[in-house]
Amino acid sequence: MMHVTGRRISIRDLRFTGIVGVFAEERSHQQTLSCSVDIDFECPPDREPTFTDRIQDTIDYESVIRDIMSVSAAQSPMLLERLARLIAEKISVRYPGIRSISITLQKVPTPVKDIFAESIGVSITFTPENPQ
């Protein structure tokens, strides 16, 4: 028999708009943002989704996507780092058993005048203080 030693939900390059930035020109309009997320989590043995095949026994990535987009729509932080924390907090409250949430947020394209990069961003890994 195979044992599950870890599980991860991944979302790559989710595109949405939001207001994030320090400078007035960044805050004057919606920017395209990209978000990639890795969520490492545990499940109780009696709710192991590789056996149960039930969405309620795992993390529903559609709900995670909606959480990311709703946080971005409701908040206008100065820093991508703050937006990443707000997203991680919302996800960790919804789902028990999360061990870590790694979030990469990028501004696409870069909003900095005369800087020609495909994107600029941050990557942060959060660990809940009291994993459930």
- Going from the C-alpha of 110 to that of each of 20, 78, 118, the distances in angstroms are 12, 15, 6
Question: Which range scores top for mean pLDDT: 12-16, 28-32, 91-95, 105-109?
Answer: 12-16
Q: What is the pLDDT of residues 51-102, one digit of tens each?
A: 889 888 899 999 999 999 999 999 999 999 999 999 999 999 999 899 999 9
- pTM of the predicted protein model: 0.89
Domain edges within the chain: 7-126
**Fold of domain 7-126:** GTP Cyclohydrolase I, domain 2 (3.30.1130)
DSSP string across 9-59: EEEEEEEEEE---SSHHHHSS-EEEEEEEEEEE---GGG-HHHH--GGGS-
Please give the structure tokens belonging to residue 11: 């979302």
